[in-house]
Structure 1
Amino acid sequence: MPKIMSSQSTAYISYFGGGLAAIVMAALLYFGVFYHRQASAQDYPVQGFDVSHHQGDVQWSKISPEKFQFVYLKATEGGDFKDSKFQENWLKAREHGFHVGAYHFYRLCRDGQIQAQNFIETVPKKLDALPPVIDLEYDSQCINTYTKEQLLEEIKVMHDMLKRHYAKQPIFYVSKSFYHIVLLGSFKDTPLWIRDYEEKPQLKDQRDWMFWQHTNQGKMQGVAKPVDLNVFSGSQRQWQRFIEQNSQTTQP
Protein backbone atom coordinates (compact mmCIF):
# COMPACT_ATOMS: atom_id res chain seq x y z
CA MET A 1 0.00 0.00 0.00
CA PRO A 2 1.60 3.37 -1.02
CA LYS A 3 2.55 5.85 1.61
CA ILE A 4 0.74 9.15 1.76
CA MET A 5 3.13 12.10 1.63
CA SER A 6 2.84 14.77 4.25
CA SER A 7 2.16 18.36 3.18
CA GLN A 8 5.70 19.25 4.30
CA SER A 9 7.22 16.58 2.03
CA THR A 10 5.10 17.81 -0.87
CA ALA A 11 6.33 21.33 -0.30
CA TYR A 12 9.98 20.20 -0.37
CA ILE A 13 9.46 18.29 -3.63
CA SER A 14 7.62 21.22 -5.20
CA TYR A 15 10.39 23.63 -4.18
CA PHE A 16 13.32 21.51 -5.30
CA GLY A 17 11.49 20.18 -8.37
CA GLY A 18 10.69 23.71 -9.51
CA GLY A 19 14.25 24.81 -8.86
CA LEU A 20 15.63 21.85 -10.79
CA ALA A 21 13.30 22.58 -13.70
CA ALA A 22 14.48 26.18 -13.78
CA ILE A 23 18.12 25.07 -13.80
CA VAL A 24 17.51 22.57 -16.60
CA MET A 25 15.64 25.17 -18.65
CA ALA A 26 18.44 27.70 -18.20
CA ALA A 27 21.01 25.12 -19.30
CA LEU A 28 19.00 24.24 -22.40
CA LEU A 29 18.71 27.90 -23.35
CA TYR A 30 22.42 28.46 -22.70
CA PHE A 31 23.47 25.60 -24.94
CA GLY A 32 21.02 26.57 -27.67
CA VAL A 33 18.65 23.62 -27.46
CA PHE A 34 15.68 26.00 -27.53
CA TYR A 35 16.01 28.92 -29.95
CA HIS A 36 14.09 31.05 -32.40
CA ARG A 37 14.92 29.46 -35.75
CA GLN A 38 16.31 31.89 -38.31
CA ALA A 39 14.85 31.78 -41.80
CA SER A 40 16.75 29.34 -43.97
CA ALA A 41 17.27 29.60 -47.70
CA GLN A 42 15.48 26.26 -47.97
CA ASP A 43 12.31 27.92 -46.65
CA TYR A 44 11.90 29.76 -49.94
CA PRO A 45 10.06 27.82 -52.66
CA VAL A 46 11.74 29.48 -55.66
CA GLN A 47 15.40 28.48 -55.98
CA GLY A 48 17.98 29.44 -58.58
CA PHE A 49 21.69 29.78 -59.32
CA ASP A 50 24.16 31.85 -61.32
CA VAL A 51 27.17 30.84 -63.39
CA SER A 52 29.96 32.28 -65.50
CA HIS A 53 32.97 30.97 -67.39
CA HIS A 54 34.49 30.15 -63.99
CA GLN A 55 32.18 27.11 -63.75
CA GLY A 56 33.43 25.75 -67.08
CA ASP A 57 31.13 23.57 -69.18
CA VAL A 58 27.64 23.25 -67.71
CA GLN A 59 25.69 20.07 -68.48
CA TRP A 60 22.28 21.70 -68.65
CA SER A 61 20.42 18.44 -69.30
CA LYS A 62 21.41 17.22 -65.82
CA ILE A 63 19.93 20.24 -64.00
CA SER A 64 16.22 20.25 -63.23
CA PRO A 65 14.30 23.44 -64.13
CA GLU A 66 11.66 22.30 -61.63
CA LYS A 67 14.16 22.37 -58.76
CA PHE A 68 16.05 25.43 -59.97
CA GLN A 69 13.52 27.72 -61.60
CA PHE A 70 15.87 30.52 -62.62
CA VAL A 71 19.47 31.09 -63.60
CA TYR A 72 21.49 34.25 -64.12
CA LEU A 73 24.48 34.17 -66.46
CA LYS A 74 27.46 36.47 -66.46
CA ALA A 75 27.45 38.33 -69.76
CA THR A 76 29.88 41.23 -69.51
CA GLU A 77 32.30 43.14 -67.30
CA GLY A 78 33.46 46.72 -67.58
CA GLY A 79 33.59 48.33 -70.99
CA ASP A 80 34.88 45.52 -73.18
CA PHE A 81 34.99 42.12 -71.43
CA LYS A 82 32.51 39.51 -72.66
CA ASP A 83 32.15 36.21 -70.82
CA SER A 84 33.41 33.42 -73.06
CA LYS A 85 30.63 31.04 -71.98
CA PHE A 86 27.72 33.46 -72.11
CA GLN A 87 26.33 32.77 -75.58
CA GLU A 88 26.53 29.00 -75.14
CA ASN A 89 24.99 29.12 -71.66
CA TRP A 90 22.25 31.54 -72.79
CA LEU A 91 21.11 29.29 -75.64
CA LYS A 92 21.31 25.99 -73.75
CA ALA A 93 19.68 27.25 -70.55
CA ARG A 94 16.73 28.59 -72.54
CA GLU A 95 16.49 25.36 -74.54
CA HIS A 96 16.21 23.37 -71.30
CA GLY A 97 13.33 25.42 -69.93
CA PHE A 98 14.97 27.73 -67.38
CA HIS A 99 13.95 31.31 -66.73
CA VAL A 100 17.17 33.02 -67.81
CA GLY A 101 18.67 36.43 -67.13
CA ALA A 102 22.05 38.08 -67.63
CA TYR A 103 24.24 40.16 -65.34
CA HIS A 104 27.02 42.69 -65.81
CA PHE A 105 29.97 43.06 -63.44
CA TYR A 106 30.22 46.82 -63.02
CA ARG A 107 33.71 48.33 -63.00
CA LEU A 108 33.74 51.33 -60.68
CA CYS A 109 36.38 53.11 -62.78
CA ARG A 110 34.56 52.93 -66.13
CA ASP A 111 31.85 55.17 -67.53
CA GLY A 112 28.32 53.88 -67.14
CA GLN A 113 27.49 54.52 -70.79
CA ILE A 114 30.40 52.43 -72.09
CA GLN A 115 29.48 49.56 -69.78
CA ALA A 116 25.82 49.70 -70.79
CA GLN A 117 26.79 49.55 -74.46
CA ASN A 118 28.95 46.50 -73.81
CA PHE A 119 26.01 44.71 -72.17
CA ILE A 120 23.48 45.74 -74.83
CA GLU A 121 25.79 44.54 -77.62
CA THR A 122 26.12 41.15 -75.92
CA VAL A 123 22.73 40.27 -74.39
CA PRO A 124 19.77 39.60 -76.73
CA LYS A 125 16.57 41.54 -76.17
CA LYS A 126 14.08 38.78 -75.35
CA LEU A 127 10.58 39.40 -74.05
CA ASP A 128 10.67 36.34 -71.77
CA ALA A 129 14.13 37.03 -70.30
CA LEU A 130 14.57 37.99 -66.66
CA PRO A 131 15.44 41.65 -65.97
CA PRO A 132 19.09 42.66 -66.44
CA VAL A 133 21.27 42.75 -63.32
CA ILE A 134 24.07 45.18 -62.51
CA ASP A 135 26.60 43.58 -60.15
CA LEU A 136 28.00 46.32 -57.89
CA GLU A 137 31.05 45.38 -55.84
CA TYR A 138 34.14 47.05 -54.42
CA ASP A 139 37.06 47.23 -56.83
CA SER A 140 40.44 47.96 -55.25
CA GLN A 141 41.80 49.29 -58.55
CA CYS A 142 38.92 51.70 -59.15
CA ILE A 143 37.55 52.72 -55.77
CA ASN A 144 39.03 56.26 -55.80
CA THR A 145 38.32 57.10 -59.44
CA TYR A 146 34.98 58.81 -58.72
CA THR A 147 33.45 60.53 -55.74
CA LYS A 148 30.38 58.82 -54.31
CA GLU A 149 28.11 61.32 -56.06
CA GLN A 150 29.87 60.82 -59.40
CA LEU A 151 29.75 57.05 -58.99
CA LEU A 152 26.01 57.11 -58.33
CA GLU A 153 25.51 59.23 -61.43
CA GLU A 154 27.49 56.79 -63.61
CA ILE A 155 25.55 53.84 -62.19
CA LYS A 156 22.34 55.71 -62.98
CA VAL A 157 23.46 56.19 -66.59
CA MET A 158 23.85 52.44 -67.06
CA HIS A 159 20.69 51.67 -65.09
CA ASP A 160 18.60 54.00 -67.25
CA MET A 161 20.10 52.80 -70.54
CA LEU A 162 19.32 49.17 -69.73
CA LYS A 163 15.82 50.07 -68.60
CA ARG A 164 15.11 51.89 -71.85
CA HIS A 165 16.62 49.23 -74.11
CA TYR A 166 15.09 46.12 -72.50
CA ALA A 167 11.89 47.78 -71.21
CA LYS A 168 12.48 46.04 -67.88
CA GLN A 169 13.40 47.41 -64.46
CA PRO A 170 17.06 46.46 -63.80
CA ILE A 171 18.12 44.82 -60.53
CA PHE A 172 21.18 45.66 -58.40
CA TYR A 173 23.30 42.82 -56.99
CA VAL A 174 25.15 44.07 -53.90
CA SER A 175 26.67 43.08 -50.58
CA LYS A 176 25.15 44.61 -47.47
CA SER A 177 28.26 46.73 -46.90
CA PHE A 178 28.20 48.17 -50.43
CA TYR A 179 24.52 48.97 -50.08
CA HIS A 180 24.94 50.69 -46.72
CA ILE A 181 27.96 52.75 -47.78
CA VAL A 182 27.09 53.61 -51.39
CA LEU A 183 23.44 52.99 -52.25
CA LEU A 184 21.56 53.70 -49.02
CA GLY A 185 18.88 56.28 -49.79
CA SER A 186 19.31 56.00 -53.58
CA PHE A 187 17.53 54.02 -56.32
CA LYS A 188 14.58 53.29 -54.04
CA ASP A 189 12.56 51.72 -56.88
CA THR A 190 15.34 49.37 -58.01
CA PRO A 191 14.97 45.78 -56.72
CA LEU A 192 17.89 44.36 -54.75
CA TRP A 193 19.73 41.06 -54.95
CA ILE A 194 21.69 40.75 -51.69
CA ARG A 195 24.77 38.62 -51.08
CA ASP A 196 24.84 37.31 -47.50
CA TYR A 197 26.44 33.97 -46.69
CA GLU A 198 25.77 34.12 -42.93
CA GLU A 199 22.09 34.88 -42.47
CA LYS A 200 18.91 36.13 -44.07
CA PRO A 201 19.67 39.67 -45.30
CA GLN A 202 18.49 42.54 -43.13
CA LEU A 203 19.29 46.09 -44.24
CA LYS A 204 19.63 49.06 -41.91
CA ASP A 205 16.73 50.90 -43.54
CA GLN A 206 14.55 47.74 -43.49
CA ARG A 207 14.36 47.80 -47.28
CA ASP A 208 13.05 44.62 -48.88
CA TRP A 209 15.16 42.46 -51.18
CA MET A 210 14.07 40.42 -54.18
CA PHE A 211 16.86 37.83 -54.44
CA TRP A 212 19.23 36.44 -51.83
CA GLN A 213 22.54 34.80 -52.73
CA HIS A 214 23.08 32.59 -49.69
CA THR A 215 26.20 30.63 -50.68
CA ASN A 216 28.99 30.53 -53.25
CA GLN A 217 29.81 26.93 -52.46
CA GLY A 218 26.72 25.21 -53.81
CA LYS A 219 27.01 21.74 -55.33
CA MET A 220 24.73 20.54 -58.08
CA GLN A 221 24.63 17.84 -60.68
CA GLY A 222 25.77 19.09 -64.06
CA VAL A 223 28.27 21.64 -62.73
CA ALA A 224 31.71 20.41 -61.70
CA LYS A 225 32.75 23.49 -59.71
CA PRO A 226 31.06 25.28 -56.76
CA VAL A 227 28.04 27.38 -57.73
CA ASP A 228 26.36 30.50 -56.35
CA LEU A 229 22.90 29.56 -55.07
CA ASN A 230 20.04 32.04 -54.76
CA VAL A 231 16.40 32.30 -53.72
CA PHE A 232 13.51 34.56 -54.69
CA SER A 233 11.94 36.37 -51.74
CA GLY A 234 8.30 35.57 -52.47
CA SER A 235 5.91 32.68 -52.91
CA GLN A 236 5.43 30.55 -56.00
CA ARG A 237 2.41 32.66 -56.93
CA GLN A 238 4.42 35.88 -56.54
CA TRP A 239 7.15 34.39 -58.71
CA GLN A 240 4.66 33.62 -61.47
CA ARG A 241 3.33 37.17 -61.25
CA PHE A 242 6.89 38.50 -61.48
CA ILE A 243 7.52 36.37 -64.59
CA GLU A 244 4.29 37.52 -66.22
CA GLN A 245 4.97 41.19 -65.50
CA ASN A 246 8.44 40.95 -67.01
CA SER A 247 7.14 39.21 -70.11
CA GLN A 248 4.95 42.16 -71.04
CA THR A 249 6.05 45.05 -73.21
CA THR A 250 6.04 48.15 -71.02
CA GLN A 251 7.15 51.71 -71.42
CA PRO A 252 10.49 52.34 -69.67
Structure 2
Amino acid sequence: MRHFTKVLLGLMLVLAVACARTPSGGRYGAPGPGANPQLGDSAPHDWGWGHPYKHQVHGIDISRWQGDIDWRRVRGAGISFAFIKSTEGGDHIDPNFHRYWREAAGARIPRGAYHYYYFCRSGAEQARWFIRNVPRERGSLPPVLDIEWTHSKTCPRRPPASEVKREASIFLDIVGRHYGQRPIVYTTVDFYRDNRLGDLRAEFWLRSVADHPSKVYPGQRWGFWQYTGTGTVPGIRGNVDLNAFAGSAADWSRWLQTRLTR
Protein backbone atom coordinates (compact mmCIF):
# COMPACT_ATOMS: atom_id res chain seq x y z
CA MET A 1 0.00 0.00 0.00
CA ARG A 2 2.84 2.35 0.88
CA HIS A 3 4.52 1.58 -2.47
CA PHE A 4 1.23 2.24 -4.32
CA THR A 5 0.87 5.59 -2.55
CA LYS A 6 4.36 6.63 -3.63
CA VAL A 7 3.65 5.63 -7.23
CA LEU A 8 0.37 7.54 -7.17
CA LEU A 9 2.02 10.66 -5.77
CA GLY A 10 4.71 10.39 -8.44
CA LEU A 11 2.12 10.22 -11.21
CA MET A 12 0.29 13.22 -9.76
CA LEU A 13 3.53 15.22 -9.75
CA VAL A 14 4.23 14.34 -13.39
CA LEU A 15 0.71 15.40 -14.40
CA ALA A 16 1.02 18.65 -12.45
CA VAL A 17 4.26 19.55 -14.21
CA ALA A 18 2.76 18.71 -17.60
CA CYS A 19 -0.31 20.86 -16.94
CA ALA A 20 1.88 23.72 -15.73
CA ARG A 21 3.45 23.87 -19.19
CA THR A 22 0.30 23.90 -21.29
CA PRO A 23 0.41 26.86 -23.69
CA SER A 24 -3.08 28.11 -22.87
CA GLY A 25 -2.31 28.61 -19.22
CA GLY A 26 1.35 29.51 -19.33
CA ARG A 27 3.41 28.00 -16.53
CA TYR A 28 0.48 28.05 -14.15
CA GLY A 29 -1.61 25.44 -16.00
CA ALA A 30 -5.28 26.15 -16.71
CA PRO A 31 -6.21 29.75 -17.58
CA GLY A 32 -7.84 31.93 -14.97
CA PRO A 33 -11.52 32.94 -14.93
CA GLY A 34 -12.83 34.28 -18.21
CA ALA A 35 -9.99 32.96 -20.37
CA ASN A 36 -10.53 30.98 -23.54
CA PRO A 37 -8.51 27.74 -23.44
CA GLN A 38 -7.93 27.86 -27.22
CA LEU A 39 -5.60 30.85 -26.85
CA GLY A 40 -1.99 30.05 -26.07
CA ASP A 41 1.56 31.34 -25.94
CA SER A 42 4.63 29.79 -27.54
CA ALA A 43 6.86 31.44 -24.89
CA PRO A 44 4.66 31.78 -21.79
CA HIS A 45 5.63 34.25 -19.08
CA ASP A 46 5.48 33.64 -15.33
CA TRP A 47 2.80 36.23 -14.55
CA GLY A 48 2.11 35.57 -10.88
CA TRP A 49 -0.93 37.46 -9.60
CA GLY A 50 -1.40 39.64 -12.70
CA HIS A 51 -2.15 36.89 -15.20
CA PRO A 52 -3.77 38.32 -18.38
CA TYR A 53 -6.01 35.26 -18.73
CA LYS A 54 -8.00 36.54 -15.78
CA HIS A 55 -9.51 38.99 -18.25
CA GLN A 56 -12.65 37.93 -20.09
CA VAL A 57 -12.16 39.75 -23.41
CA HIS A 58 -9.16 39.09 -25.65
CA GLY A 59 -8.14 40.26 -29.11
CA ILE A 60 -5.30 40.39 -31.61
CA ASP A 61 -3.32 43.00 -33.48
CA ILE A 62 -1.92 42.03 -36.85
CA SER A 63 0.02 43.15 -39.91
CA ARG A 64 1.15 41.64 -43.22
CA TRP A 65 3.42 39.20 -41.39
CA GLN A 66 0.46 37.08 -40.27
CA GLY A 67 -0.14 36.00 -43.88
CA ASP A 68 -3.39 34.23 -44.70
CA ILE A 69 -5.82 34.14 -41.79
CA ASP A 70 -8.82 31.87 -41.26
CA TRP A 71 -10.99 34.53 -39.64
CA ARG A 72 -13.87 32.22 -38.80
CA ARG A 73 -11.56 29.96 -36.83
CA VAL A 74 -10.12 33.05 -35.12
CA ARG A 75 -13.61 34.15 -34.10
CA GLY A 76 -14.47 30.62 -32.98
CA ALA A 77 -11.40 30.62 -30.74
CA GLY A 78 -12.90 33.47 -28.74
CA ILE A 79 -11.13 36.49 -30.25
CA SER A 80 -13.38 39.51 -29.63
CA PHE A 81 -11.55 42.23 -31.57
CA ALA A 82 -8.74 42.87 -34.04
CA PHE A 83 -6.57 45.92 -34.60
CA ILE A 84 -5.14 45.85 -38.14
CA LYS A 85 -2.07 47.75 -39.28
CA SER A 86 -3.04 50.21 -41.97
CA THR A 87 -0.40 52.89 -42.52
CA GLU A 88 3.07 54.14 -41.62
CA GLY A 89 4.35 57.68 -41.75
CA GLY A 90 3.01 59.58 -44.73
CA ASP A 91 3.55 57.24 -47.68
CA HIS A 92 3.25 53.57 -46.72
CA ILE A 93 0.23 51.26 -46.43
CA ASP A 94 0.31 47.67 -45.21
CA PRO A 95 -0.30 45.53 -48.32
CA ASN A 96 -2.70 43.23 -46.46
CA PHE A 97 -4.74 45.95 -44.78
CA HIS A 98 -7.74 46.13 -47.09
CA ARG A 99 -7.98 42.35 -47.37
CA TYR A 100 -7.84 41.88 -43.59
CA TRP A 101 -10.33 44.71 -43.16
CA ARG A 102 -12.88 42.95 -45.40
CA GLU A 103 -12.22 39.47 -44.06
CA ALA A 104 -12.52 40.43 -40.40
CA ALA A 105 -15.82 42.17 -41.12
CA GLY A 106 -17.02 39.07 -42.97
CA ALA A 107 -16.30 36.99 -39.86
CA ARG A 108 -18.15 39.57 -37.72
CA ILE A 109 -15.09 40.44 -35.63
CA PRO A 110 -15.04 44.10 -34.52
CA ARG A 111 -11.94 45.63 -36.09
CA GLY A 112 -10.08 48.88 -36.19
CA ALA A 113 -7.02 50.27 -37.98
CA TYR A 114 -3.74 51.42 -36.48
CA HIS A 115 -1.19 53.89 -37.80
CA TYR A 116 2.53 53.49 -37.08
CA TYR A 117 3.93 56.95 -36.39
CA TYR A 118 7.18 58.28 -37.89
CA PHE A 119 8.96 61.29 -36.42
CA CYS A 120 10.12 62.66 -39.79
CA ARG A 121 6.57 63.64 -40.80
CA SER A 122 4.21 66.07 -39.11
CA GLY A 123 1.18 64.86 -37.21
CA ALA A 124 -1.11 66.60 -39.71
CA GLU A 125 0.55 64.95 -42.72
CA GLN A 126 0.29 61.50 -41.15
CA ALA A 127 -3.33 62.09 -40.19
CA ARG A 128 -4.19 62.94 -43.79
CA TRP A 129 -2.44 59.78 -45.02
CA PHE A 130 -4.38 57.63 -42.54
CA ILE A 131 -7.70 59.20 -43.55
CA ARG A 132 -6.89 58.72 -47.22
CA ASN A 133 -6.43 54.95 -46.76
CA VAL A 134 -8.76 53.86 -43.93
CA PRO A 135 -12.53 53.79 -44.60
CA ARG A 136 -14.84 55.69 -42.29
CA GLU A 137 -17.09 52.70 -41.79
CA ARG A 138 -20.00 52.41 -39.42
CA GLY A 139 -19.40 49.82 -36.70
CA SER A 140 -15.59 49.85 -36.83
CA LEU A 141 -13.44 50.30 -33.73
CA PRO A 142 -11.80 53.66 -33.02
CA PRO A 143 -8.60 54.42 -34.93
CA VAL A 144 -5.30 53.78 -33.15
CA LEU A 145 -2.12 55.84 -33.07
CA ASP A 146 0.85 53.51 -32.51
CA ILE A 147 3.56 55.81 -31.19
CA GLU A 148 6.88 54.39 -30.00
CA TRP A 149 10.57 54.84 -30.69
CA THR A 150 11.27 53.54 -34.19
CA HIS A 151 14.40 51.76 -35.39
CA SER A 152 14.16 53.08 -38.92
CA LYS A 153 17.40 53.94 -40.71
CA THR A 154 15.53 56.46 -42.83
CA CYS A 155 14.06 58.26 -39.80
CA PRO A 156 16.30 58.01 -36.73
CA ARG A 157 14.91 61.21 -35.12
CA ARG A 158 14.03 61.28 -31.43
CA PRO A 159 12.35 64.64 -30.91
CA PRO A 160 11.82 66.16 -27.46
CA ALA A 161 8.75 65.23 -25.45
CA SER A 162 7.09 68.59 -26.09
CA GLU A 163 7.23 68.05 -29.86
CA VAL A 164 6.14 64.42 -29.58
CA LYS A 165 3.01 65.32 -27.63
CA ARG A 166 2.22 68.39 -29.73
CA GLU A 167 2.33 66.49 -33.02
CA ALA A 168 0.57 63.45 -31.58
CA SER A 169 -2.24 65.68 -30.33
CA ILE A 170 -2.60 67.19 -33.79
CA PHE A 171 -2.93 63.69 -35.27
CA LEU A 172 -5.49 62.70 -32.61
CA ASP A 173 -7.56 65.85 -33.19
CA ILE A 174 -7.68 65.56 -37.00
CA VAL A 175 -8.35 61.82 -37.09
CA GLY A 176 -10.83 62.06 -34.23
CA ARG A 177 -12.89 64.68 -36.04
CA HIS A 178 -12.99 62.63 -39.23
CA TYR A 179 -14.07 59.32 -37.67
CA GLY A 180 -16.17 60.73 -34.87
CA GLN A 181 -14.12 58.85 -32.27
CA ARG A 182 -10.91 60.04 -30.62
CA PRO A 183 -8.14 57.54 -31.41
CA ILE A 184 -6.71 55.11 -28.91
CA VAL A 185 -2.99 55.55 -28.22
CA TYR A 186 -0.77 52.46 -28.27
CA THR A 187 2.65 52.85 -26.69
CA THR A 188 5.55 51.07 -25.03
CA VAL A 189 7.12 51.35 -21.59
CA ASP A 190 10.24 53.29 -22.59
CA PHE A 191 8.41 55.68 -24.89
CA TYR A 192 5.72 56.37 -22.27
CA ARG A 193 8.35 57.19 -19.65
CA ASP A 194 10.67 59.18 -21.93
CA ASN A 195 7.84 61.45 -23.10
CA ARG A 196 5.68 61.54 -19.96
CA LEU A 197 2.62 60.54 -21.96
CA GLY A 198 0.33 60.34 -18.95
CA ASP A 199 -0.95 63.86 -19.62
CA LEU A 200 -1.89 63.08 -23.23
CA ARG A 201 -5.67 63.19 -23.64
CA ALA A 202 -6.41 59.69 -24.88
CA GLU A 203 -7.51 56.19 -24.05
CA PHE A 204 -4.39 54.03 -23.75
CA TRP A 205 -3.44 50.64 -25.14
CA LEU A 206 -0.29 49.64 -23.26
CA ARG A 207 2.39 47.11 -24.10
CA SER A 208 3.54 45.19 -21.04
CA VAL A 209 4.90 41.69 -21.64
CA ALA A 210 6.75 41.18 -18.35
CA ASP A 211 4.36 42.47 -15.68
CA HIS A 212 0.87 43.83 -15.13
CA PRO A 213 0.32 47.39 -16.47
CA SER A 214 -0.54 48.61 -12.98
CA LYS A 215 3.08 47.95 -12.00
CA VAL A 216 4.76 49.02 -15.24
CA TYR A 217 2.64 52.16 -15.77
CA PRO A 218 1.71 53.08 -12.17
CA GLY A 219 -1.39 55.25 -11.93
CA GLN A 220 -2.16 55.13 -15.65
CA ARG A 221 -5.66 54.10 -16.68
CA TRP A 222 -5.83 51.87 -19.76
CA GLY A 223 -8.40 50.26 -22.00
CA PHE A 224 -6.25 47.59 -23.68
CA TRP A 225 -3.19 45.59 -22.65
CA GLN A 226 -0.83 43.95 -25.15
CA TYR A 227 0.52 41.14 -23.00
CA THR A 228 2.48 39.00 -25.46
CA GLY A 229 4.00 38.99 -28.91
CA THR A 230 4.24 35.19 -28.99
CA GLY A 231 0.57 34.31 -28.72
CA THR A 232 -1.05 31.45 -30.60
CA VAL A 233 -4.57 31.49 -32.03
CA PRO A 234 -6.34 28.85 -34.15
CA GLY A 235 -6.62 30.19 -37.69
CA ILE A 236 -3.31 32.09 -37.59
CA ARG A 237 0.01 30.46 -38.46
CA GLY A 238 2.89 31.37 -36.18
CA ASN A 239 2.99 33.90 -33.38
CA VAL A 240 0.62 36.82 -33.02
CA ASP A 241 0.20 39.70 -30.55
CA LEU A 242 -2.50 39.05 -27.94
CA ASN A 243 -4.33 41.76 -26.03
CA ALA A 244 -6.80 41.98 -23.17
CA PHE A 245 -9.60 44.49 -22.65
CA ALA A 246 -9.57 46.11 -19.23
CA GLY A 247 -13.14 45.27 -18.20
CA SER A 248 -15.59 42.40 -18.10
CA ALA A 249 -17.63 41.04 -20.99
CA ALA A 250 -20.48 43.31 -19.92
CA ASP A 251 -18.09 46.29 -19.84
CA TRP A 252 -16.96 45.36 -23.35
CA SER A 253 -20.54 45.47 -24.63
CA ARG A 254 -21.03 48.91 -23.09
CA TRP A 255 -17.68 50.10 -24.48
CA LEU A 256 -18.71 49.06 -27.99
CA GLN A 257 -21.97 50.96 -27.68
CA THR A 258 -20.10 54.21 -27.03
CA ARG A 259 -16.84 53.80 -29.00
CA LEU A 260 -17.82 52.32 -32.37
CA THR A 261 -17.74 54.60 -35.40
CA ARG A 262 -21.25 55.86 -36.16
* Structures share fold, TM-score greater than 0.5: yes
What is residue 29 of structure 1 aligned with on the other side? none
Conserved 8 A contact 1:50-1:72: yes
1:199 deviates by 1.3
Give deviations 1:146-204, integer Å, cap 9, x for gaps: 332222211111111111000102111011221111133421x3111111111111255
1:238 equivalent to 2:262? Answer no
Encode CA deviations 1:6-55: one digit per residue, 9 max, x unaligned.
xxxxxxxxxxxxxxxxxxxxxxxxxxxxxx94121100000100111011
Match status 1:228 vs 2:241: yes
Tell me by how many angstroms 1:117 deviates: 1.1
> What is the distance in 1 between the residues matched to 2:235 and 2:77?
15
1:33 corresponds to:
none
1:198 aligns with 2:210: yes
What's the counterpart of residue 137 of structure 2? 126
Asked if residue 71 in structure 1 is aligned to residue 86 in structure 2, the reply is: no
Residue pair 2:136, 2:261 contacting (<8 A) in 1 also? no
Larger Rg: 1
Aligned AA (1:73) = I
Confirm or deny that 1:175 pairs with 2:191. Answer: no
Of 36-45 and 233-242, more deviation after overlay is shown by: 36-45
Q: 1:204–1:245: structure 2 CA closer, same or farther, 3 Å change rule? A: closer
Partner of 1:109: 120
Check the 8 A contact 1:49/1:227 in 2, yes or no: yes
8 Å CA contact 2:149, 2:191 repeated in 1: yes
Taking structure 1 as the reference length, the TM-score comes to 0.79
Could you tell me how far apart the structure 2 residues matched to 1:194 and 1:145 are?
20
Superposed, which structure 2 residues align to 1:1-252 within 5 Å?
37-64=48-75, 67-140=78-151, 141=153, 142=155, 144=157, 146-187=159-200, 189-202=201-214, 203-247=216-260, 249=262
Distance 1:121 1:65, change over 3 A: farther
2:206 is paired with a residue whose SS is: strand
* SS at 1:63 equivalent: helix
Identity of aligned residues (%): 33
User: How much does 1:64 deviate?
Assistant: 2.1
Number of equivalent positions: 213
Unpaired stretches in structure 2, ≥5 consecutive residues: 1-46
Alpha-carbon displacement from aligned partner over 1:39-80 (angstroms, at most 9, x marks no partner): 211000001001110111112122125611100100001101
* Distance (Å, rounded) in 1 between the aligned partners of 2:132 and 2:166: 22
Query: AA paired with 2:211?
Result: E
- Unpaired runs of 5+ residues, structure 1, are 1-35
Query: What SS does structure 1 have at the residue aligned with 2:79?
Result: coil
What one-letter code is carried by the residue in structure 2 that aligns with 1:86?
Answer: F
Cα 1:207–1:145 change in 2 (3 A) is closer
Q: Is the 8 A contact 2:58 2:243 kept in 1?
A: yes
Q: Secondary structure at the match of 2:50?
A: coil
Match of 2:8 in 1: none
